[in-house]
């Protein structure tokens, strides 16, 4: 297959690209490296790398028109600064509009999109959250703009899959609590956890599901999630265990920021039924593999799309 991946040097995009290249697909990647890493992808005879932004409509049209992909996997997103509303709107809204217009113009009939679970709001009306839950993205710029992107894909009339994601983690991930814990624990900085819970999905399990969609399975919205939520304290303890360190005192637990949801637990039943998919990686194993990658490659910065309490 010929697969065009936006944000292909980022966490999800690069892991997917590696999987597709390993099975013989031709992959074109576009990334502006705002949050992606240049060492996430190695040169490959079937890989074409382009540095650029999806906000450049002319570039997107030219790349998609020349490459003529069988489908587009749209993994690019603006999320590193929760106060950069204009940047989020430009990348996640206008950028997505550019992608779907280029897909239609080139005859590419299928798009795979990644949506945030925050599209259901900071105070979900049910737990676990089903696909019938109303879309209420007003709690963050990231959710507002990612939902706009999802609407543009729906408006396009293209065959599509929109994966609404739980908290993905694993090698190459630089956002969320786990890379923050690693960075602070290995640089002698104090740590704290918030009294929140999250549904964590390991990247290999997530990619298993996405590859099925690349191969044509699924139409419309789906959840990719473990179906279980864990406290942030549990994640911290797994990080400490993987690092083989002994803390002098228990980690401080703080109240969450007002814009932070207590728990986001997604119901993945439709995905399991239609994709024949289930998670394979226990939290402890996934954290250990992720910590090993951080040790080998190092991390110097981490990102979040929610406003956080300061030190």
The catalytic position among 79, 113, 142, 202 is 142
Residue 142 annotated among the catalytic residues of the structure: yes
DSSP string, the chain: -EEEEETTTSHHHHHHHHHHHHTT-EEEEEE--SS--GGGS---TTEEEEE--TT-HHHHHHHHHHH--SEEEE-----S-TT-HHHHIIIIIIHHHHHHHHHHHHT--EEEEEEEGGGG-SS-SSSSBPTTSPP--TT-HHHHHHHHHHHHHHHHT-EEEEEEE-EEESTT--BSHHHHHHHHHTTT---EEES-EE-EEEHHHHHHHHHHHHTT---EEEEE--S--EEHHHHHHHHHHHHT---SSPPEEEPPPTTS-SEE-B--HHHHHHH-------HHHHHHHHHHHHHHH-----B-SS-----
Catalytically active residues are 142
């Amino acid at each position: 297959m010929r697969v065009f991946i936006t944000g292909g040097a980022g966490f999800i995009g690069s892991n997917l690209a590696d999987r597709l290249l390993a099975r013989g697909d031709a992959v074109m990647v576009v990334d502006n490296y705002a949050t992606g890493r240049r060492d996430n992808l190695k040169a490959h005879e079937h890989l074409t790398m382009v540095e650029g932004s999806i906000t450049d409509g002319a570039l997107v049209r030219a790349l998609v028109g020349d490459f003529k992909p069988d489908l587009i996997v749209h993994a690019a997103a603006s999320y590193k600064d929760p106060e950069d509303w204009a940047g989020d709107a430009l990348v996640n809204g206008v950028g997505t509009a550019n992608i779907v217009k280029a897909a239609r113009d080139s005859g590419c009939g299928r798009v795979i999109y990644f949506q945030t679970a925050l599209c259901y709001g900071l105070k979900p009306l049910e737990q676990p959250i089903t696909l019938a839950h109303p879309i209420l993205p007003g709690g963050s710029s990231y959710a507002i703009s990612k939902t706009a992107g999802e609407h543009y894909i729906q408006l396009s009339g293209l065959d599509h899959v929109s994966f609404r994601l739980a908290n993905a983690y694993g090698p190459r991930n630089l956002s969320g609590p786990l890379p923050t814990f690693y960075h602070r624990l290995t640089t002698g900085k104090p740590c704290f956890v918030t009294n929140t819970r999250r549904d964590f999905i390991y990247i290999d399990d997530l990619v298993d599901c996405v590859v099925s969609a690349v191969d044509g399975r699924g139409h419309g919205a789906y959840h990719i999630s473990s179906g279980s939520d864990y406290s942030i304290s549990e994640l911290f303890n797994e990080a400490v265990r993987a690092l083989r360190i002994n803390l002098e005192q228990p980690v401080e637990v703080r109240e969450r920021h007002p814009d932070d949801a207590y728990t986001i637990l997604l119901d993945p039943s439709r995905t399991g039924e239609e994709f024949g998919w289930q998670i394979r990686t226990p939290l402890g194993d996934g954290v250990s593999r992720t910590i090993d990658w951080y040790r080998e490659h190092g991390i110097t910065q981490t990102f979040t799309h929610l406003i956080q309490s300061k030190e």
